[in-house]
Amino acid sequence: MSDDDRTANLARAIDTLRDRRAVLRGAAVAGLAGVSVPLLAACSSGDDAGSTPSSSAPASDPTSAPSSSAPSSSAPSSSAPSSSAPSSSANVLGPVSDVPVGGGKVFTDAKVVVTQPAAGQFKAFTAVCTHMGCIVSKVENKTIDCPCHGSKFNITDGSVAGGPAPSPLAAVQVAVEGSNIVQSA
């Protein structure tokens, strides 16, 4: 076999491989499209029926570039109730008694997690994990935990304590009004 024949055979083999790769790539994309919808649905909380979209915290777009700044401590600490009735521009998340000292509670409908690092000091963050947009599921051992890929965030400032999350949870404005924790509009 001559060098020209070998070169021609090699060129045909390369073209065949390119065509096969294109077909496989197309099939993979089509397969992923069919699989990704149920997977994305599995990541949602599924209980958005009771939420009020106009008053809940906007979820950050997991495909957007994460903010490079750390969350500010703009979530006010509240040591004393400010009034007995929540203001009309606030979203009542739940009773203060639901948030243990040294722990926290995830308010899934509002996509907010409220923590109480020290007695009377309440902090709040978006419950949307900065890794893949899953909703965090629990607060334990002084971390806010995401069930999807194991990211953990500090209860005091929302900073990343472990896992693949690229950035901290964004702070959310809350206050204690009466016996309730309310999110500012």
Q: Which two tokens stand for residue 81?
A: 């109730």
Q: What does the pLDDT profile of the chain (185 residues) look like in tens digits?
A: 777 777 777 777 777 766 666 656 655 555 555 554 444 444 444 444 333 333 333 344 444 344 433 333 334 444 444 444 555 567 999 999 999 999 999 999 999 999 999 999 999 999 999 999 999 999 999 999 999 999 999 999 999 999 999 999 999 999 999 999 999 86
The owner of tokens 């020209």 is 4
Spatial strand order of the sheet with 103-107 comes to: 103-107, 112-118, 121-126
d(CA 54, CA 60): 15
- The structure tokens 């964004």 sit at 170
